[in-house]
Structure 1
Amino acid sequence: MPVARMLLDAGRGALIGTVEIIPGVSGGTVALIVGVYETLIDSAGHLARGVARAASDGVRGRGLTRAREEFAAVRWSVVLPVGFGMIAAVLAASAILAPIIEAEPVASRALFAGLILASLVVPIRMVGGRWRMREYAIAAVGAVAGFLLTSLPQVDPLEPPLPVVALAAAFAVCALVVPGVSGSFILLAVGMYAPTLAAVNERDLVYLGVFILGAMIGLGLFVSVLQWLLVHRRRVMLAMMTGLMLGSLRALWPWQEGGTVQPPGPDALPVLLLVLLGAAAVGGVLLIESAVLRRAARRLESGAAG
């Protein structure tokens, strides 16, 4: 494998890993921008199915033939350097973000809220065409569900139960399938964001091992289902996702005390500016994505014409 290509893919992975730490900025969107989205999603599916088949076929005495076929379909030449870059970036970004979030919770939630608000454009746009009454109704149901779920008591930020860690990871990893949806936001909405950052910074191998196991289970169980839904029930899926994201913004209301929403404080103006700053940041990423997609479409058209 050429060294230059490995370094390029590691750099792509570093970009994806950095934004995955920030709630509201989608690693899937950045993967799409840098041109590795389809390769990563396809390879992740093969990898998860390979692990599942190795476990099930091994227990049943069927051998590892099916598992080896799945592993052989993984684009290791891309996945390994991208994965290395992601891990390095996650470690670095976690060390920077964790103390900021702890010291400035109001400002952090305001910035993250702006990121999420702007990210709503992605699933809304992906629905395609004008929204019908059915999509609005589905989105409303999703918004109510998201609001209620984020109103539940959050887990203990110091020692979350390991089954909860695995479950949160299984759902968060599904966000990689849909550009514009942030896995970190899912963790934040269920109260698992700060514990996960702390586990990364403290090198808590038990927590991280359970988290990785949950992510692998999520890839194996949910990603294929989500991909099918995006093909066969696209409008319903994306409308529901839009509503869930909107309702879950309750978790990012800047003024909170122990998870209870408080009225705005005297710092309302600077907080609003941070919300606008977060929205502008995501808007810039989406503009870059649109430019990249337009350029790729023009290349395809010129190639077809030639």
Structure 2
Amino acid sequence: MKKSFLSVLKEPVCGFFMAVADSVPGVSGGTVAFLAGVYGDFIGSFGNIVGKDKEKRKKSLLFLLRLGIGWLIGMGLSVTLLESMFTKHIYEISSLFLGLVAASIPLIVTEERETLKKCRLWHILFFLAGAGAVVGLSLLHFRAATDSMNIASALYVFIGGALAVSAMVLPGISGSTLLLAFGLYVPIITGLKKFFSLDFSSFALLFIFGVGVLAGIFCSFRGINYLLKNHRPATVSAIVGLMAGSLYAVVMGPTTLDEPKAAISASTFSIVFFVIGIAVVTAFALTKYSAAKKRS
């Protein structure tokens, strides 16, 4: 009985920390699931839900429900803190995010070193495409309106939600960083903070974003599995490119505020928070290494 209780408790706790990771640019909820040993179940559950096996469907729904409860609690607490910190201490927090992203790149390269050894010279095109996509989005300086939505902005938010959740499920890639590049990070965390405070003024934004997330979940999981299984070198190259481009997205983060500020410069960059970001990712890597060593 005790083992069963701890097993059930593990999933909400994992969901909680996945939400904390998902809310921060530079860290992926998929990485947390990977470290916790539930990544395979997490990815497989979505396939089981639309599958024909009723027993697997029921088991997967319960798994995602327990994970989801922890995720909602973690996200509620995270956005409450992040929204005020991001606006009041933008340069310190952005420096922290830079450290998270910078440390994540060598981590994913190390994890996929055998895959990257198979890369040929032309695979650099996928790296450049990934980096260029994020940099290009950052240059658009798009900021979504939270009070009213027209067709163009609704479509933009929908696509942003679909792409962000696709990134969130991959270890090493941060969906929040993509939201930052889209100019949607601040509007979404502000809207979520309002929603958890029973202020529904941003409901339209969150609803369209949520529909995009659901579409991304059910459309991307099979696609991601297919690409990683059949075209892994090209896919990993694009992933590393996305992460490299994310550095520019974070630098430009202050320009996406409701009251835009200058991008990070040498005078506003905080080396202390940058090092803290690196330390957090390093701790993740050491935890994973320790867990793998114990299993072997």
Give the TM-score range, shorter chain: 0.7 to 0.9
Contact 1:114/1:278, CA 8 A, preserved across alignment: yes
Q: Structure 1, residues 272-297: CA drift from partner, whole Å, max 9, x if none?
A: 2322221121111112112223333x
Shift in Å, 1:265: 5.0
- In structure 2, the residue matched to 1:135 is 123
- In structure 2, the residue matched to 1:251 is 249
- In structure 2, the residue matched to 1:241 is 239
- In structure 1, the residue matched to 2:44 is 42
Larger mean CA deviation between 129-138 and 286-295 belongs to 129-138
TM-score (norm 1): 0.81
Counterparts of 2:56 and 2:138, CA distance in 1: 38
- In structure 2, the residue matched to 1:98 is 83
Counterparts of 1:277 and 1:97, CA distance in 2: 16
Q: Structure 1, residues 29-52: CA drift from partner, whole Å, max 9, x if none?
A: 1111112111111112344x47xx
- In structure 1, the residue matched to 2:205 is 207
- In structure 2, the residue matched to 1:112 is 97
Counterparts of 1:74 and 1:137, CA distance in 2: 41
Percent identity over the alignment is 26
| Distance 1:12-1:104 versus aligned 2 partners, 3 A rule | same
Counterparts of 1:230 and 1:168, CA distance in 2: 22
Counterparts of 2:264 and 2:292, CA distance in 1: 42
- In structure 1, the residue matched to 2:276 is 277
Q: 2:8 aligns with which of 3, 6, 9?
A: 6
- In structure 1, the residue matched to 2:142 is 154
**1:185 to 2:177 alignment:** yes
Counterparts of 1:279 and 1:119, CA distance in 2: 8
Counterparts of 1:260 and 1:247, CA distance in 2: 20
Counterparts of 1:44 and 1:263, CA distance in 2: 39
Unpaired runs of at least 5, structure 2:
none
- In structure 2, the residue matched to 1:57 is none
Report the RMSD for the aligned CA atoms in angstroms: 2.6
Counterparts of 1:207 and 1:71, CA distance in 2: 34
Counterparts of 1:217 and 1:71, CA distance in 2: 22
Q: In the comparison of the two structures, how many residue pairs are matched?
A: 278
Counterparts of 1:158 and 1:176, CA distance in 2: 23
Aligned residue for 1:264, secondary structure, equals coil
Shift in Å, 1:106: 1.3
Shift in Å, 1:230: 0.3
| Distance 1:197-1:255 versus aligned 2 partners, 3 A rule | closer
**1:197 to 2:189 alignment:** yes
| Distance 1:257-1:79 versus aligned 2 partners, 3 A rule | closer
Q: Structure 1, residues 182-223: CA drift from partner, whole Å, max 9, x if none?
A: 111111111111111111111144333322221111122222
Q: 1:169 aligns with which of 148, 158, 161?
A: 161
- In structure 2, the residue matched to 1:232 is 230
Shift in Å, 1:3: 4.1
Counterparts of 2:211 and 2:56, CA distance in 1: 17
- In structure 1, the residue matched to 2:18 is 16
Q: Structure 1, residues 10-39: CA drift from partner, whole Å, max 9, x if none?
A: 112111111111111111111111121111
Aligned residue for 1:75, secondary structure, equals helix
| Distance 1:213-1:170 versus aligned 2 partners, 3 A rule | same
Shift in Å, 1:94: 0.7
Shift in Å, 1:137: 4.1
Counterparts of 2:215 and 2:86, CA distance in 1: 29
Contact 1:43/1:73, CA 8 A, preserved across alignment: no
Counterparts of 2:206 and 2:146, CA distance in 1: 14
Shift in Å, 1:125: 2.8
- The residue identity in structure 1 corresponding to 2:90 is P
Contact 1:120/1:245, CA 8 A, preserved across alignment: yes
- In structure 2, the residue matched to 1:144 is 132
Q: Structure 1, residues 36-93: CA drift from partner, whole Å, max 9, x if none?
A: 111111112344x47xxxxxxxxxxxxxxx6x85982652332211110110110011
- The residue identity in structure 2 corresponding to 1:294 is K
- The residue identity in structure 2 corresponding to 1:227 is N
| Distance 1:229-1:22 versus aligned 2 partners, 3 A rule | same
Contact 1:255/1:264, CA 8 A, preserved across alignment: no
TM-score (norm 2): 0.83
Contact 1:127/1:239, CA 8 A, preserved across alignment: no
- In structure 2, the residue matched to 1:287 is 286
Unpaired runs of at least 5, structure 1:
51-65, 299-306
- In structure 1, the residue matched to 2:32 is 30
Q: Structure 1, residues 76-116: CA drift from partner, whole Å, max 9, x if none?
A: 33221111011011001110111000111111211111111
Say which one has the larger Rg: 1
